[in-house]
């Protein structure tokens, strides 16, 4: 059986320890070279002689990974980052006239695959000494759609425009006004139209480093489409956007496709993924070890296969359990003791006015919070947390509040120091399921966005509190991590009889997690009106009616899916006033 060994020598600095690990290897002990420790202490593993006994990964669990490859991948990789480094085995296929989505967890090569398609990364086919030319790439993919794609690349008839994942890095590299950035990349005369469609007219004169995450995302999308191209690639185009903006951006991206133009999207919001793409690949593999790509499927099938966790054609199980979206009746029928209540709250902050009608939260409840950006969700959360004082109204403040902010601060402290309380109290309930142990010795400033998010959630839940306020806990997380986090939060609240208020823009995440919903109405940056909590169905109906979209439940997976505007189901549900099926 073929296997992949990945070694992180940054975490194996102690030569003595590496020699000790080497001495444990049964292959080395039998006199055959398998683990080598170089003069400078660097450890490497020969994948051909390794028998996969599992001893060395146990001795250095955070630095060595040995993974058996499925039979189907007993072949040359498309790209290998180095000896004992990540290997990529396949690529997604762009199709003209279609939006092709890529579904998969972080760390299994989505960005690498996109980099190769976009011509940013030259594959080496596992031979570290070379960078392949187009002829080799075309030969490698003979007889597939990918072959045709690279033939067109070679002829120069494919022009790629790419929106990177981390839009928050743009202000670090680019300075100046939004309009100047867009004019610089504009290849045609679509600037006014694009700016209008993406609703960024009012920020054109603003400096790039002064606009919000959601605005930055839409500016990055505008800059991508202003370049003339026939393959547009969007890596996570909806992070930082509220639901209204997510739907708007999805429509915008869909409309880019025509018979001469192809679009490829990586997205972790499953409802939006379903709405935005026609067909999809599933990327599977082992995090930071290897990644491969399933065959292309219609999006509905791809999502159901993804939730099932099993690829039939490839005979690969990539998750132990299937994901099922049960209706949440048992939760909404909970009759807990009241924890906190409010009535007639108001707060003026500059030109913004926030008011909250009557509402209450019971013990053990998880309340989802929906609303556009800039409508006062964070302000209300801060009023409940007593971080901001209200102007008027009543609030029962005899509860302790734990708060996770939307924007996460990182410093030089070690994760294990910051999470000391959570580790002592909730290793089984929080630290282990969130897989935080491998991060213990890292500084906060060294964590990726997703890692920092998990640490911030653990930090918040580890506090002595009765009510937890989590602002956008799904940001930076992949689908798998979102499912894990929703389960951790739900189980934690139930077991500890605590309550949570979850502000988020991922509808699936919220519907999977919440017992009830609060809806924020009003006009962004002017006034916000806090309504609820309501039963899930009532809250969703109220919110979706305003957005003019309807959701049905998929018969197989029970996942909520957006109906096409003016489709038969869309019209029927609107006539009945059922914008959401619980």
The contact set with ligand SF4 (CB under 6 A) reads 24-27, 34-35, 45, 50-56, 66
Whole-number minimum distance, CB 28 to ligand SF4, in Å? 7
Whole-number minimum distance, CB 21 to ligand SF4, in Å? 8
Query: In angstroms, rounded to a whole number, what is the distance separating the alpha carbons of residues 338 and 322?
Result: 35
Task: Closer to ligand SF4 by CB, 22 or 573: give it.
Answer: 22
Number of H helices, E strands in the chain: 22, 27
The DSSP H or E segment spanning 420 is helix 420-426
Instruction: List the one residue out of 67, 108, 68 whose CA is nearest residue 88.
Output: 108
Alpha-carbon dihedral angle through residues 133, 134, 137, 138, given to the nearest 10 degrees = -150
Query: In angstroms, rounded to a whole number, what is the distance separating the alpha carbons of residues 296 and 103?
Result: 11
Query: In angstroms, rounded to a whole number, what is the distance separating the alpha carbons of residues 221 and 252?
Result: 10
For residues 13 and 25, the answer to whether their CB atoms sit within 8 Å is: no
Whole-number minimum distance, CB 308 to ligand SF4, in Å? 31
Task: Closer to ligand SF4 by CB, 67 or 465: give it.
Answer: 67
Task: Closer to ligand SF4 by CB, 24 or 387: give it.
Answer: 24
Task: Closer to ligand SF4 by CB, 28 or 230: give it.
Answer: 28
Q: Hey, which bits of 267-322 come out as E strands? A: 279-286, 290-293, 297-298, 310-311, 316-317
Whole-number minimum distance, CB 41 to ligand SF4, in Å? 17
Q: How far apart are the first and last CA of the chain?
A: 47
Q: Is 468 helix (H, G, I), strand (E, B) or coil?
A: strand
Whole-number minimum distance, CB 56 to ligand SF4, in Å? 3
Q: HEC profile for 368-383?
A: EEECCCCCCHHHHHHH
Task: Closer to ligand SF4 by CB, 34 or 385: give it.
Answer: 34
Task: Closer to ligand SF4 by CB, 21 or 272: give it.
Answer: 21
For residues 469 and 497, the answer to whether their CB atoms sit within 8 Å is: no
395 Rama sector, left if φ>0, alpha if ψ -120 to 50, beta otherwise: beta
Task: Closer to ligand SF4 by CB, 8 or 358: give it.
Answer: 8
């Amino acid at each position: 059986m073929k296997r992949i060994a990945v070694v992180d020598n940054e975490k194996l600095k102690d030569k003595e320890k590496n020699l000790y690990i080497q001495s444990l290897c049964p292959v080395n002990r039998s006199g055959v070279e398998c683990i080598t420790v170089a003069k400078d202490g660097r450890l490497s593993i020969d994948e051909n002689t390794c028998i996969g006994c599992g001893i060395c990964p146990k001795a250095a669990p955070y630095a060595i990974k040995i993974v058996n490859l499925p039979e189907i991948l007993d072949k040359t990789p498309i790209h290998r980052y180095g000896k004992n480094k990540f290997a990529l085995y396949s690529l997604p296929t762009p199709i003209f006239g279609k939006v092709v989505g890529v579904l998969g967890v972080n760390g299994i090569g989505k960005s690498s695959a996109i980099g190769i398609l976009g011509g940013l990364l030259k594959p080496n086919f596992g031979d570290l000494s070379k960078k392949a030319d187009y002829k080799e790439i075309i030969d490698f993919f003979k007889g597939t759609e990918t072959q045709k794609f690279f033939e067109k690349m070679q002829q120069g008839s494919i022009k790629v425009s790419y929106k990177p994942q981390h839009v928050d890095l743009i202000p670090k590299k680019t300075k100046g006004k939004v309009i100047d950035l867009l004019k610089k990349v504009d290849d045609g005369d679509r600037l006014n139209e694009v700016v209008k469609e993406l609703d960024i007219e009012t920020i054109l004169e603003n400096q790039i480093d002064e606009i919000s995450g959601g605005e930055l995302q839409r500016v990055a999308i505008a800059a991508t489409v202003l370049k003339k191209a026939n393959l547009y690639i969007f890596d996570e185009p909806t992070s930082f956007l509220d639901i209204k903006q997510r739907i708007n951006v999805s429509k915008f991206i869909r409309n880019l496709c025509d018979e001469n133009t192809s679009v490829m999207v990586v997205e972790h919001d499953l409802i939006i993924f379903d709405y935005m793409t026609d067909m999809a690949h599933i990327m599977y593999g082992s995090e930071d070890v290897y990644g491969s790509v399933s065959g292309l499927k219609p999006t509905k099938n791809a999502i159901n296969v993804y939730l099932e966790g099993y690829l039939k054609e490839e005979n690969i199980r990539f998750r132990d359990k299937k994901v099922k979206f049960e209706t949440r009746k048992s939760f909404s029928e909970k009759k807990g003791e009241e924890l906190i209540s409010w009535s007639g709250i108001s707060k003026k902050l500059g030109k913004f006015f926030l008011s909250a009608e009557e509402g209450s939260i019971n013990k053990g409840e998880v309340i989802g919070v929906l609303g556009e950006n800039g409508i006062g969700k964070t302000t209300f959360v801060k009023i409940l947390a007593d971080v901001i004082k209200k102007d008027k109204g009543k609030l029962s403040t005899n509860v302790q509040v734990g708060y996770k902010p939307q924007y996460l601060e990182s410093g030089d402290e070690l994760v294990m120091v910051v999470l000391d309380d959570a580790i002592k109290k909730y290793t089984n309930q929080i630290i282990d399921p969130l897989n935080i142990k491998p991060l213990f010795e890292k500084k906060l400033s060294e964590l990726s966005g997703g890692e920092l998010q998990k640490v911030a959630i653990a930090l918040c839940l580890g506090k002595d509190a009765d009510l937890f306020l989590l602002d956008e806990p799904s940001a930076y997380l992949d689908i798998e991590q979102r499912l894990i986090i929703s389960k951790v939060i739900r189980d934690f609240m139930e077991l500890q009889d605590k309550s949570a208020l979850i502000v988020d823009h991922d509808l699936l995440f919220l519907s999977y997690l919440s017992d009830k919903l609060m809806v924020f109405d009003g006009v962004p940056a002017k006034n916000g009106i806090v309504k609820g909590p309501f039963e899930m169905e009532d809250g969703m109906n109220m919110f979706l009616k305003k957005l003019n979209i309807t959701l049905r439940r998929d018969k197989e997976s029970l996942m909520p899916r957006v109906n096409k505007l003016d489709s038969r189901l869309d019209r029927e549900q609107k006539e009945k006033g059922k914008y959401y099926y619980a």
